[in-house]
Chains A and B, each alone.
Chain A
């Protein structure tokens, strides 16, 4: 039996996503309480396994697990036995043998969690795999949009930047398309392969910023992932000139349009400082919602796997 977990958005139904978003919303007010710790996952163990550097996602998962009352262990690639030549499967099996309730994993290889899920009894929560998916980011982004709009359906969302290498873009495309969002993907041509339009229904591609932001309800900026560029796919020096978000662009968008960015932001590269700091920039709201959303995900994944164990015990 395939363990439950959260590998990606693509394979989830709209209803499953809605249930997670509802639960995320339920955990939002807690973030403003002075005492934030619950006992939902009391006595449960969550392993955070990060094979790539990460500040916000890792901290966010850690805090989410602690606020649910779980015990958390955090492992980074440097300290792991992978640097001693152990294979990923062996490392994960070793961790799984210590019976954590879930493993939160980030890895630089696309599909690494999907590959492991075929062999591992422990549910895996994908905290970003290569250039494939980053499901909790898309969920927290949706939760953030819903703080400003009553529903996702019918919105126009522009995602701008290094689409080809972005797991955030892929997860957002899958999620938003399932809710009937009108999606525009924009970036330099070499970072915008035409096949992107086959990811989901309702996608248009453009290499022109002005076209992308026109009438947009949401402008989602992406970082240029220089660490994933294996070549010079575009002239770096003129990136900001053609693909940096400035106030003049925001004026072309819907008058209540919000500006999002999964972070870390590079001021002056993909986003002007004036935009990053202006009132309708919701970048920090995204970070805040990350904790609530990941609490919902952790809770659901652990509950599902407990159900699965009980079912197996009954059989």
Chain B
């Protein structure tokens, strides 16, 4: 028997098809059956989306799910649950697990575990090099066949330019995007926060913006050399954005993502050596945060991604310099984006949906991010005005390391539908 779901009376925003207006969405057997005003489907379950926005399922192309190996901080199941609660129907998980996802064995484990336990789609990202050690290329082709959608050595970027060049050449032949966490490890060594007036005042060692910029420049040149698709992870500086903007104008195949914390916070927000403000790249200057907002508004930034990086409370309850880098982000991303970009009028709603859907889908070549008939029924329904407060203690993630605890939001996720199934419902809460 076929299962049918009718989403009525919502404002459907689907940048892939150019639709933005009142319409109903009919879901049948896990796929979009029709999108048009006043649909009738007497046997279908009905979601009343009056006053809500109905969009293609949001994709977070940069998360850390910590499984296998670091399950006390997060699991595929809990991370996917946090994603569903945050309005995401797909996440791409970085390979820095234990063991590193550098082989089809680990990739298959993640795919299989996700299929059984995750509420939403989980797409693994394979490592560029074995153990992300920056030397030997990982089993890139085999990982792709097992389900990897891109390659990256994320937190341990490939410093050897020759290795990076070979990785790009090889990845290109498999149609894989190379994602780089751009950080010159020599320039950033020992740093705990952005290098600037605040780091000087706090006596914390700085990570200069240039540590990011020089690697963005290198990667763009290598992408030009190899023709590989390059994606810059969590771009955070004005100079890096300028480099990407210019490269793109010249036809280089480069895309980039930005995180909500890099446009919502600055280094000056770090108070009392609270490690919930510690991540890489670090919170930058006010000018950089403004440049990230501009980059999103002018289309230089293709995707908003969270870099959701769970760490247990005890790992974050230490001296600032001893704490690991990273914060959670899946449940606050939409609220922060609405707050800083949509409610302020910097971008249109359709543009916001784009950076959560077609932007990441195109950067990775994922067949997702649209409500076109026949597409997988991944749907994010969200509110523009619901008044709510994020309580980290109620978070679905196993970890609570967030600087946004008790922040008040206007608008946020309402119902998350993955593969035609309602996986999260905030209504009535």
Contacts and interface: CB of A to CB of B under 8 A. Distances in A.
Interface of A: 10, 87-89, 107, 109-112, 114-115, 117-118, 129-133, 164, 167, 170, 193, 195-196, 198-199, 230-231
Contacts of A193: 195, 200, 206
Contact of B321 (A87, A130, A164): A130
Contacts of B200: 164, 193, 195-196, 198-199
Given A114-B273, A230-B189, A109 B319 contact: yes
Nearest to B273: A111
B203 A129 contact: yes
Contacts of B202: 110-111, 132
A170 B203 contact: yes
B147 interface: no
A133 B189 contact: no
Interface in B19-54: none
A235 B224 CA distance: 39
Contacts of A133: 203
B317 interface: yes
Interface string B174-214: 00000000000000011000011101111111100000000
14 contacts: A87-B314, A87-B317, A88-B319, A89-B317, A110-B204, A111-B202, A170-B201, A193-B200, A193-B206, A195-B197, A196-B200, A198-B197, A230-B189, A230-B205
Interface of B: 189-190, 195-197, 199-206, 272-274, 314, 317-322
Nearest to A109: B319
Closest 9 CB pairs of A and B: A132-B203, A111-B273, A109-B319, A110-B203, A131-B203, A195-B200, A198-B197, A195-B197, A115-B273
A65 B333 CA distance: 52
A193 B202 CA distance: 13
Given A118-B272, A230-B189, A88 B318 contact: yes
Contact of A110 (B197, B272, B317, B321): B321
Contacts of A117: 272
Contacts of B272: 111, 114-115, 117-118
Contacts of B203: 110-111, 129-133, 167, 170
Contacts of A10: 201
Contacts of B206: 193
A230 B272 CA distance: 25
B314 A230 contact: no
A77 to B, nearest CB: 13
B197 A111 contact: no
Contacts of A167: 203
B342 to A, nearest CB: 34
A170 B321 CA distance: 19
Contacts of A130: 203-204, 321
Given A230-B189, A230-B190, A112 B201 contact: no
Contact of B320 (A87, A111, A164, A231): A111
Looking at A110, A118, A130, A199, the one whose CB has the most chain B CB atoms below 10 A away is A110
A211 B317 CA distance: 45
B422 to A, nearest CB: 41
A189 to B, nearest CB: 14
A259 B201 CA distance: 25
Contacts of B273: 110-112, 114-115
Contacts of A107: 319
Nearest to B206: A193
A110 B201 contact: no
Looking at A129, A195, A199, the one whose CB has the most chain B CB atoms below 10 A away is A195
A130 B190 CA distance: 13
Nearest to A167: B203
A135 to B, nearest CB: 13
A263 B322 CA distance: 28
B173 to A, nearest CB: 40
Contact of B319 (A115, A199, A230, A231): A115
B321 A109 contact: yes
A235 B320 CA distance: 30
Nearest to A131: B203
Contacts of A195: 196-197, 199-201
Nearest to B317: A89
Nearest to A115: B273
Given A132-B202, A132-B203, A193-B200, A110 B190 contact: no
